[in-house]
């Protein structure tokens, strides 16, 4: 008789009872329910041990995220070293830095392309809530406004250790996940296997502002009701000041003052005793007189506001030279062509092109270099200021003023691109921020904001969505406002950082698929002769999340086969409103914001800003000798750290994936240790102060620094040189690629290693010496080829010169104070204007400040070398391949925090 078989429901084949008994005795050591229950443990272990982050970063935090891959921190210990370039291969999005409105649609698209299961880590204060940039008009107040966040990592920026702790937290969260197992009737807690769950995020729209399509109807309703305009009508507005006028002799000014006093005796307010007498006689008292009389009269006449000496910068042409130049221009183009106004030449807009051509081509000092261009909104005009220097006679800087109509959208001046091509992006920025049009500009479109944005944000009459008052400290933040503190969202009619004009009617035309940022930036063919197969040209968009664009930067390429025949940079994806915030902050508050421009060079950034305000303060901020030496030491250490990173990641771009970068990161980490020891922070040092530095060097710091400078850095630079400079692959990928001639480098206003690699020996430390650089022996490093290789090699050799300066500064470091007086948290800056220039690692970093005698800057502008160097990018890339474009961009060494500000 055959043995009866038993069919278990979970098995599909009959089992002999004897075999079943043996299996249950020796193999099936657990129940089927328990076995299925173990799936969670195995599945979660696999997921937690092989996290694949999406390889893109936003701002400062991204640098610390990259550092976790170095041997010092070793993210591989947590199974997360496989950074993926495509969202379709990634399961973790690390939102590392400021989320801007411009970038938010891109982030939403990336998230929607990631496969399930997917996780989001919000890294840093900016990603989590806007951080120090929350009040900015282009900033999203936290990524969780749009994406579900699994882990928040605090810090600004968080250290690499903090991000690793965030990964551990995410791993613990994954350990708690349970899958659906219908066989045992168990419901899990993972939404991605639920067919009814939709985890995709609606892509927001770039219209007059960033518009969340989930609340579109409510937004339209509140816009039509004019709630924004009603709120702004109750707010105090920034005061406008008149544009500078020609200086009036003191005698004339005194006579004018006496005439004004004599002309208005009847307008004098009644004193308190006069008011009492008038009331006792039953006479009529003018309305408001009681309140006026109640105010205490000043004990003595108020002193005239302090005014800083008139000079555009520390090293310039000089008063006599400027007067001679004004006379030369008047004789050339007619009386009134050039008027000296506060150490600058005021030129009529109609004569700007003639004057510009003369200054460049026929003046004895050939002003061939446009250092900086910016706009200022005054009550009677928009003033454009141009800072010009000569590469043949450096240190002869002059400033031009040109004025346009003040009314929004009505100002217009001629474009000077035909004279100085480096004006291209700077004019577009002035148009984007101030609304001034430049007639003759070949591509006058918005550059930091997007086409369709409703406002010109650096005009004084533009109030941000989170605006509270014209200057900090806001009333709700001080003692009188105790108990009144509130979140900005509570008073904004939309409950978020949004502002839309009441008259907007284009709601039906809003399209989440539209490319508002790249629209109008499609390159046209430029006549490059392609001697290959007959192919059709097409446009390729590279970025803004591409791993090789050095941040959220985009290039629209027109290619013929593999050959680039047109290129348009698209920037602004990290525009954090640095300058608008800088005009709200007190002068001292701006130091930590300068850290976040080029976040590789916070010490150098601090130095430039300190010099601008010190120029206005004069002897009140005279820097002691010890502080001067400390400043130079910190600046040159920062230069070495920046160049190390630049070289490491240039090799990354050329194909030597990450190994050279790891070598470079190791040296940079040693320098960051010194910064953290002295300033308390690795990257955002906030170390300089007006008149000195914040803290003295701690005991043992100088010995440690000397050991690194004397015993290590030189050897490591030699090691990089030996491994890279004669490498055949490096030379093949960089020699003759991205050539920028000497004439082009000057015309495009390039600076730093980019300019010097084209044979121009222009270094601000020598051309216009600042601090105590004139005391040190060092060479200005140049090359002649102007290609990718020369830009690499100039940086390598410049590190050696920095080591020379460091050795001299450390040996000469004196004892003494680090500030000219007591540490102060509020300073008085005289009225005036100043343009400071320092040689940053990327080139000339300039700060232009207009002060009106108050506690904040009336105008605050940053001349960004990374931004202006990009003006030459298309010219460098034409005729090369797409692969070469990556290396050419890497050789510019841009940092998006400084590009977009």
Using one digit for the tens of pLDDT, what is the confidence trace for 40-62? Answer: 777 788 888 888 888 778 888 88
- Cα-based angle 63, 880, 651 (whole degrees, multiple of 5): 30
Domain boundary among 388, 419, 439: 439
Question: What residues form DSSP beta bridges with 839?
Answer: 844
Q: Residue count of the chain, please give it.
A: 901
Do 651 and 774 lie in one domain? The reply is yes
CATH number of the domain enclosing 741: 1.10.645.10
Domain count, the chain: 3
Say what angle helices 625-654 and 882-892 make with each other, to 10 degrees: 170
Domain boundary among 412, 439, 466: 439
Do 613 and 731 lie in one domain? The reply is yes
Do 202 and 322 lie in one domain? The reply is no
The answer to the question of residue 882 being in a domain is: yes
Do 196 and 341 lie in one domain? The reply is no
What local confidence, expressed as pLDDT, does residue 678 receive? Answer: 93
Cβ atoms 731, 759 nearer than 8 A: no
The answer to the question of whether 61 is labelled as a binding residue is yes
Domain boundary among 161, 180, 210: 210
Give tens-digit pLDDT for 723-782. 899 888 889 999 999 999 999 999 999 999 999 999 999 999 999 999 999 999 999 999
Q: Is the pLDDT of residue 248 over 70?
A: no
Do 731 and 864 lie in one domain? The reply is yes
Do 328 and 206 lie in one domain? The reply is no
The answer to the question of residue 516 being in a domain is: no
Do 182 and 325 lie in one domain? The reply is no
Q: Is the pLDDT of residue 275 over 60?
A: no
Give tens-digit pLDDT for 819-852. 998 888 888 899 999 999 999 999 999 999 999 9
Q: Is the pLDDT of residue 295 over 50?
A: no
Task: Look at residues 344, 385, 388, 351 and name the one whose alpha carbon lies nearest to residue 369.
Answer: 388
Quick check: helix, strand or coil at residue 518? coil
| Phi, psi of 839, deg, nearest 5 | -90, 90
Domain of residue 631: give its range.
578-900
The answer to the question of whether 877 is labelled as a binding residue is no
The answer to the question of residue 747 being in a domain is: yes
Cβ atoms 458, 434 nearer than 8 A: yes
* Whole-number average pLDDT of the chain: 85
CATH number of the domain enclosing 49: 3.40.50.12280
Rounded to two decimals, the pTM is: 0.86
Quick check: helix, strand or coil at residue 653? helix
| Phi, psi of 673, deg, nearest 5 | -60, -40
The answer to the question of residue 690 being in a domain is: yes
The answer to the question of residue 155 being in a domain is: yes
The answer to the question of whether 705 is labelled as a binding residue is no
Give tens-digit pLDDT for 604-634. 999 999 999 999 998 888 999 999 999 999 9
Q: Of residues 73 and 357, which shows the higher confidence score?
A: 357
What local confidence, expressed as pLDDT, does residue 10 receive? Answer: 47
User: CA-CA distances (angstroms) from residue 654 to 408, 658, 895?
Assistant: 46, 10, 18
The answer to the question of residue 737 being in a domain is: yes
Q: What is the rounded average pLDDT of the residues 876-882?
A: 90
Task: Look at residues 38, 40, 33 and name the one whose alpha carbon lies nearest to residue 179.
Answer: 40
Q: Is the pLDDT of residue 293 over 80?
A: no
Do 643 and 770 lie in one domain? The reply is yes
The answer to the question of residue 641 being in a domain is: yes
Task: Look at residues 631, 653, 648 and name the one whose alpha carbon lies nearest to residue 724.
Answer: 648
The answer to the question of residue 532 being in a domain is: no
What local confidence, expressed as pLDDT, does residue 7 receive? Answer: 47
CATH number of the domain enclosing 359: 3.30.460.80
Q: Write the DSSP string, 758-826.
A: TT----HHHHS--TTGGGS-------SS-SHHHHHHHHHHHHHHHHHHHHHHHHH---S-SSSSS--SS
Range with the poorest average pLDDT among 136-145, 181-190, 365-374, 609-618: 181-190
């Amino acid at each position: 008789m055959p043995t009866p078989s038993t069919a278990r429901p979970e098995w599909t084949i009959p089992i002999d009872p004897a075999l079943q008994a043996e299996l249950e005795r020796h193999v099936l050591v657990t129940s089927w329910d328990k076995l299925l229950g173990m799936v969670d443990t195995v599945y979660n272990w696999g997921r937690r041990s092989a996290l694949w982050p999406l390889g893109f970063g936003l701002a400062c935090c991204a640098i610390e995220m990259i550092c976790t891959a170095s041997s010092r921190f070793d993210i591989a210990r947590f199974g997360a070293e496989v950074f993926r370039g495509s969202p379709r291969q990634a399961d973790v999005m690390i939102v590392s830095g400021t989320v801007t409105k411009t970038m938010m649609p891109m982030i939403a698209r990336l998230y929607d392309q990631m496969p399930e299961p997917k996780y989001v880590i919000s890294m840093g204060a900016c990603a989590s809530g806007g951080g120090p940039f929350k009040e900015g008009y282009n900033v999203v107040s936290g990524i969780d406004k749009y994406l579900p966040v699994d882990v928040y990592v605090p810090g600004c920026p968080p250290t690499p250790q903090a991000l690793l702790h965030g990964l551990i937290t995410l791993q613990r969260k994954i350990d708690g996940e349970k899958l659906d197992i219908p066989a045992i009737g168990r419901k899990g807690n993972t939404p991605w296997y639920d067919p009814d769950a939709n985890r995709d995020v609606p892509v927001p729209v770039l219209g007059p502002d960033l518009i969340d399509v989930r609340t579109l109807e409510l937004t339209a309703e509140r816009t039509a009701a004019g709630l924004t305009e009603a709120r702004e009508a109750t707010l105090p507005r920034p005061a406008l000041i008149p544009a500078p006028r020609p200086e009036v002799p003191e005698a004339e000014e005194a006579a004018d003052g006496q005439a004004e006093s004599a002309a208005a005796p009847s307008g004098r307010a009644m004193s308190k005793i006069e008011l009492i007498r008038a009331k006792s006689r039953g006479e009529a008292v003018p309305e408001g007189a009681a309140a006026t009389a109640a105010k205490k009269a000043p004990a003595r006449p108020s002193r005239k506001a302090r005014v800083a000496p008139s000079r555009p910068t520390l090293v310039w042409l000089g008063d006599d030279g400027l007067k001679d130049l004004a006379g030369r221009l008047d004789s050339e183009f007619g009386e009134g062509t050039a008027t000296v106004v506060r150490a600058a030449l005021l030129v009529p807009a109609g004569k700007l092109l003639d004057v510009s051509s003369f200054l460049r081509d026929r003046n004895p000092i050939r002003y061939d270099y446009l250092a900086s261009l910016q706009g200022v909104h005054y009550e009677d005009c928009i003033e454009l200021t141009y800072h010009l220097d000569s590469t043949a006679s450096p240190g002869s800087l002059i400033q031009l003023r040109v004025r346009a109509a003040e009314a929004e959208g009505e100002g217009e001046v001629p474009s000077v691109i035909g004279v100085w091509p480096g004006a291209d992006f700077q004019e577009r920025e002035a148009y984007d921020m101030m609304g001034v049009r430049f007639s003759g500009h070949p591509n006058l479109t918005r550059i930091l904001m997007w086409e369709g944005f409703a406002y010109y944000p650096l005009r004084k009459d533009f109030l941000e969505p989170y605006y509270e008052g014209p200057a900090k400290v806001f009333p709700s933040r001080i003692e009188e406002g105790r108990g009144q503190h509130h979140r900005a969202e509570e008073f904004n009619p939309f409950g978020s950082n949004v502002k839309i004009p009441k008259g907007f009617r284009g709601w039906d035309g809003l399209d989440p698929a539209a490319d508002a940022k790249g629209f109008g930036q499609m390159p046209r063919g430029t006549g490059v002769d392609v001697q290959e197969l007959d192919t059709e040209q097409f446009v390729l968009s590279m970025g803004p999340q591409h791993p090789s664009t050095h941040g959220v930067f985009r290039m629209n390429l027109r290619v013929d086969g593999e050959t680039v025949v047109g290129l348009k940079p698209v920037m602004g994806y990290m525009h954090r409103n640095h300058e608008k915030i800088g005009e709200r902050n007190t002068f001292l508050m701006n130091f930590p914001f300068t850290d976040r421009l080029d976040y590789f060079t916070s010490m150098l950034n601090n130095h430039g800003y300190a010099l601008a305000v010190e120029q206005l303060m004069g002897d009140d901020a005279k820097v002691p000798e010890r502080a001067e030496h400390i400043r130079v030491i910190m600046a040159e250490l920062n230069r070495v750290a920046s160049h190390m990173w630049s070289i490491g990641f240039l090799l990354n771009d050329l194909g030597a994936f990450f190994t050279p970068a790891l070598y470079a990161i190791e040296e940079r980490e040693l320098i960051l240790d010194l910064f953290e020891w002295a300033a308390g922070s690795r990257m955002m040092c906030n170390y300089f102060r007006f008149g000195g530095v914040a803290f003295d060097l701690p005991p043992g710091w100088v010995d440690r620094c000397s050991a690194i400078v004397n015993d290590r850095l030189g050897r490591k630079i030699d090691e990089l040189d030996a491994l890279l400079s004669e490498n055949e692959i490096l030379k093949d990928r960089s020699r003759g690629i991205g050539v920028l001639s000497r004439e082009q480098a000057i015309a495009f206003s390039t600076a730093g290693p980019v300019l010097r690699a084209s044979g121009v020996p222009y270094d601000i430390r020598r051309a216009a010496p600042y601090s105590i650089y004139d005391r040190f022996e060092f060479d200005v490093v140049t090359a002649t080829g102007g290609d990718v290789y020369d830009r690499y090699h100039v940086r390598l050799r410049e590190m050696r010169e920095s080591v020379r300066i460091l050795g001299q500064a450390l040996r000469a470091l004196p004892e003494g104070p680090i500030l000219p007086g007591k540490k102060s948290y509020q300073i008085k800056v005289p009225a005036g204007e100043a343009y400071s220039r320092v040689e940053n690692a990327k080139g000339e970093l300039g700060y232009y400040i207009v002060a009106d005698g108050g506690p904040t800057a009336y105008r605050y502008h940053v001349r960004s070398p990374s931004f202006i160097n990009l003006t030459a990018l298309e010219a460098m890339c034409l005729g090369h391949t797409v692969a070469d474009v990556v290396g050419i961009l890497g050789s510019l060494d841009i940092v998006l925090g400084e590009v977009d500000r």
